[in-house]
Amino acid sequence: MHDPPSTGRPKIAVTVGDPTGVGPEIVCRAVMRPQVFQHAMPLIVGDAMAMERAWNLLSSNAGRGPRPPWVQASERDPWGVPPGSVPLLSPVPLHLEDIPYGDPSEKAARSVIRNIEAAVSLALQRQVDAVVTGPIHKGRLHRSGFLFPGHTEFLKHLTGARTVVMMLAGPKLRVSLATIHCALRQVPELLTAEGLADTIRITGEALIRDFGLAAPRLAVCGLNPHAGEEGAFGREEIELIRPVVERFEKESFRVSGPHPADTLFWRAFHGEFDAVVALYHDQGLIPVKLVHFDRAVNVSLGLPIIRTSVDHGTAYDIAGTGKADASSLLEAIAVAALMARNRRAAEAG
Ligand SMILES: NC(=O)C1=CN([C@@H]2O[C@H](COP(=O)(O)OP(=O)(O)OC[C@H]3O[C@@H](n4cnc5c(N)ncnc54)[C@H](O)[C@@H]3O)[C@@H](O)[C@H]2O)C=CC1
Ligand SMILES: NCC(=O)COP(=O)(O)O
């Protein structure tokens, strides 16, 4: 057995995601960066063939240098690789015909799911300190029988967590979502007092424990235009949101709202709040991606493990062209490492 995860640089399992999207390319770009190894020990979980193809693409564009030192590893002893190398776990080895760009075979889709399971299992066994996920194509996975809307809900299931909150965190704007992957017309019925209260509490506690803020300020969006305009444009603000916000008067984090959503993100971006609680996916993700598409990180809060992810998708339109930007993945690794260090410090008292 090798270094326990409680010492040294955090060990981070990085899943490649869909092998026919930009995942392998951005993972390859990330492990070509020496800075990554200053704050983390990455372990790649994904198909070896897809990783070799990504390396060939990048080296043919940029001139051949040494290939990043990934070495096939086993799930039983994932860190049992030579010093200086990066373990690569490939639970379901694929052939090239399984992974034409933008079109994963049935087997490739199954491998995506299996890779996530393997990374989560390593985190639950504390063989790694955190999991960082590459992008998956939800539609293609659903076609292959995947029952979950996305990683977030799958990770809740795999870890047995009671609830999970999706946060998108960028340098100047953090947003948590009270509802995640659902049709817009379902939002009002899925928005419950208990669900909203969980989102607020989990976000406030994570800002303190994982992000190191002393007294975070949270602001909750209204659902309707102008936060309902005193009931003229809807009553959710009066009947649901305000009573939940009032429950948080005596916490170590401050909560205000409901605020009109059209101006709230601008106020948060300029420093008035540490996080915004948005009520549905696009209300929160449009502003974050508008200002931070290259830097934002998707963080799953409320799980017994640390999980971060890129904010972007599989980008099939540019897969195989060598144009993918790895900035969001690099941030996701850096944020996971920071969270792991903060949790260690909290555990050590
Ligand atoms: N973390 C994850 O697993 C996520 C997965 N998705 C999934 O991805 C699939 C495709 O989603 P889309 O809405 O098309 O979003 P997308 O993020 O894949 O692409 C949107 C636009 O951004 C560009 N882009 C994305 N990533 C880039 C990168 N690293 N470098 C340069 N340009 C990049 C694409 O070329 C495209 O023009 C969907 O199935 C969606 O569910 C979407 C978001 C997150
Ligand atoms: N828009 C964010 C997104 O869809 C990512 O979802 P997940 O796969 O991290 O649950």
Report ipTM (2 d.p.): 0.98
Of 296, 314, 340, which closes a domain? 296
Whole-structure pTM value: 0.95
**CA separation, residue 240 to residues 182, 246, 264, 284, 311 (Å):** 20, 11, 19, 19, 30
| Distance of alpha carbon 310 from alpha carbon 132, whole angstroms | 8
- How much is the pLDDT for 301? 98
Residues 184 and 317 in one domain: no
Q: Do residues 204 and 251 touch, judged by C-beta distance below 8 A?
A: yes
Helix (H) or strand (E) holding 220: strand 217-221
Cβ of residue 325 lying under 6 Å from some atom of ligand 1: yes
- How much is the pLDDT for 1? 37
Q: Which residues line ligand 2 (CB under 6 A)?
A: 136, 150-152, 285, 298, 309
| Cα 16 to averaged position of ligand 2 atoms, centre (Å) | 15
Sheet holding 70-72, edge to edge: 70-72, 86-89, 41-45, 11-15, 130-133, 307-310, 297-301, 165-169, 174-177, 275-278, 217-221, 254-259
Residues 136 and 43 in one domain: yes
- How much is the pLDDT for 7? 58
* Ligand closest in space to the Cα of 27: 1
Domain that residue 152 falls in? 9-160+303-348
Q: Can you give the CATH number for the domain in which 13 is found?
A: 3.40.718.10
| Cα 311 to averaged position of ligand 1 atoms, centre (Å) | 8
Residues 131 and 211 in one domain: no
pLDDT averages per 10-residue partition of the chain, 349 residues: 61 98 98 94 98 94 79 95 95 96 95 97 97 96 91 97 97 97 96 98 96 96 96 96 95 95 98 98 97 95 98 97 96 97 89
The single residue listed with the structure tokens 């508008």 is: 290
**CA separation, residue 64 to residues 67, 213, 250 (Å):** 8, 44, 59
The single residue listed with the structure tokens 């990554």 is: 36
| CA 162 to chain CA centroid, nearest Å | 18
